Amino acid sequence: METIRERLIKVLLESKEPLTVNQLQALVNTELKPSELYDELEHVKKTLKRMGYRLELVPAVCKNCGYEFRDREKLKKPSRCPRCKSERIEPPKFYIEPL
């Protein structure tokens, strides 16, 4: 039986396009909340580094003004836009690249 982290890595390696946490949640078939899945991705990031890969992300974007959250260190979706204060945020998308 594979762990959630192993399934996340497998799905990300097989994916041809970046995936959001909600898409990952559906593909991995897990009961974890999105916030818990972001925590798992932090660990997956470290594991991938040892395997010779890098977890990359397409930054979150504000749906209201188009602000792009490029310099965030956290993987989690931001709660509000610093520019327009909107809470309508497109979540980040994740993919794997070789080192």
- The answer to whether residue 98 scores a pLDDT higher than 90 is yes
| Three-state DSSP state, 98 | strand
Q: Could you tell me the pTM of the whole model?
A: 0.90
Structure tokens given for 74: 């956290």
Nearest to 21 by CA among 81, 82, 74: 74
Residue 93: what pLDDT?
A: 97
- 88 Cα distance to chain centroid: 17
Containing structural domain, residue 34: 4-98
4-33, pLDDT tens digit by residue?
999 999 999 999 999 999 999 999 998 899
In the chain, how many domains are there?
A: 1
29-70, pLDDT tens digit by residue?
988 999 999 999 999 999 999 999 999 999 999 999 999 999
58: CATH: 1.10.10
